[in-house]
Amino acid sequence: MLVKDAMSTKVETVAPNTTLQECARMMRRMDIGALPVWENGKLIGMVTDRDVCCRSVGDGRDPAAMTVREAMSSDVTSCFEDEDCIDAARLMQSKRLRRLAVLNRQKSMVGLLSVDDIARYSHDLAGEILEAASPWPH
């Protein structure tokens, strides 16, 4: 199965100057754990619910005053929509990630591939990714 057959194509994004409080509200409203960060039509990062929690609240900072840019990861790992899901899953596993940005060959973002998307393809493969991504020793 190809990534494009498993990925989520309806992807919401957030601007880097958005407060973490508003970002968290967006995530709650959409029931998602990550948002790609867009600026001037380009993917510049990814912010996760873990970023919101650990990089603001965990550090004693005010999420109403802190921006997405301050908490996001700017090194976004991606795969291509025409790659095999197994290859994308192995990339997630090796990088200890739960989601990947999906690009077309023109390098425009066309979706997100999550562990949940992989689970619909293979429960065993999803389990391997989750085990690798776990912060606790195996």
pTM of the predicted protein model: 0.80
Residue 138 is assigned to a structural domain of this protein: no
Position 89 in a domain: yes
Structural domain containing residue 72: 3-133
**d(C-alpha 30, C-alpha 46), whole Å:** 16
The total of structural domains in the chain comes to 1
Instruction: Specify the pLDDT at position 41.
Output: 85
pLDDT of the chain, 138 residues: tens digit per residue: 899 999 999 889 999 999 999 999 999 999 999 999 999 988 999 999 999 999 888 888 999 999 999 999 999 999 999 999 999 999 998 998 989 999 999 988 999 999 888 888 766 665 666 565 666 554
Question: Would you say residue 36 lies in a domain?
Answer: yes
On whether residue 70 sits in a domain, the answer given is yes
pLDDT the model gives residue 125: 61
